[in-house]
Homo-oligomer: A and B are copies of this chain.
């Protein structure tokens, strides 16, 4: 079993703290509308979803009206607030991917309204389309073919053809194993799920998505370990699993999400991929991040620190509900724009590094999950990850886990990060577990096989 990296990242694209800041990166991306993402300014990225309702033939007109209303009012507000540009994410709901005609219809509405806002207000905007990873609708998941695969690719293809600027996905390869890793706080299983299964699956999946992008005037943007590391964050926030465990899982996700870039992604990486700062350090590509302004979608311990090196700043998602001032997506747009204004004002004065450090200082000492997102920690662990690149994804993932554990331990010991009294015990336990992992992914899989629930998982779907 060999990694099929089209591109390899043997060294950091950004190695110095003085080059690592929000708004700019070595490989900025220019959109059709002329926004240069990573070219200096931080742009807002708005995502939104339907309120509680059924989606079917009978309700699609209503759904279309709701999306039309959301996009027109949000773009109008962006124009009123003189935003220099806006990224819109269309993260589909499962029904929209299952019935690609539904998803395509909404996608077209967004494309049309973005165009209309350009004409009406001179607003620059760009669209990211993120279909659902339908493959887990089969239980156990069927990863490389079958009706869900075909259906999902149909939506990717059609949206690319219709003029979407970016394609993304939150791919789920390995999740069927990782869910169990999370509730058992089992770091080995997490490493197997993301560092072996996830990487194998993303190589296959992203090779396909990149092909679709190449066939149309469309850019492959990136993936998110949302169902892995964000689920860990949510569970930690509820007190279900240790925060230190969730922090390590976050970093374990890095080599997995990096695979998208090895296969040709150019960014901006997905907003909910909090592993983004690592990807930016390693690849030099722009990233989208979300933090306090995404609180309507999920609470987090990383509300400010998440912004330190973002190139796009997102609200994650909000359903169309009426708040006192207006509809929630418009509120989200306004809040994002003010956040971006503040960061960009600092850049205009050459104070972006100082702002970055304040964003980091304000959170990093309060939670290990925030600590591992602080720029200097990110750079140190990223350096460990790329050192392991020649040895493949499993080695990189082990390096990520080890790096995170050592950094958090050192942070706790030196008082740089507060921790629960139980965290050190868990970190030690994780260290010991990682020491038992063999270097060969196949051997590792064989070792773990007895502990896997094989009713939820088909090894051959991963070429194992």
Contacts and interface: CB of A to CB of B under 8 A. Distances in A.
A261 to B, nearest CB: 29
Which of the listed residues A297, A323, A354 has the most CB atoms from chain B within 10 Å of its own CB?
A: A323
A82 B362 contact: no
Interface residues of A, number: 50
A351 B342 contact: no
A342 B357 CA distance: 10
A293 interface: yes
- The dominant DSSP class at the A interface is helix
A354 B326 CA distance: 33
Contacts of A81: 301, 366
A49 B325 CA distance: 13
A363 interface: yes
Given A323-B319, A328-B323, A361-B348, A299 B334 contact: yes
Interface in A310-337: 317-319, 321, 323-326, 328, 330-331, 334-335, 337
B334 A362 contact: no
Number of copies: 2
Contact of A341 (B324, B337, B363): B363
A409 to B, nearest CB: 21
Contact of A362 (B318, B325, B341): B341
A106 interface: no
A293 B330 CA distance: 13
A299 B333 CA distance: 10
B341 A304 contact: yes
Nearest to A348: B361
A101 interface: no
Which one of A80, A291, A335, A366 has the highest number of Cβ atoms from chain B below 10 Å of its Cβ? A335
Contacts of A317: 324
Closest A-B pairs by Cβ, 8 of them: A303-B338, A292-B338, A345-B362, A341-B362, A296-B323, A345-B361, A298-B325, A295-B334
25 contacts: A49-B324, A81-B301, A292-B338, A293-B335, A295-B335, A296-B328, A297-B324, A299-B326, A299-B334, A303-B335, A304-B342, A319-B323, A321-B321, A321-B323, A323-B328, A338-B362, A341-B362, A341-B363, A342-B358, A342-B359, A344-B362, A346-B358, A349-B361, A351-B358, A355-B358
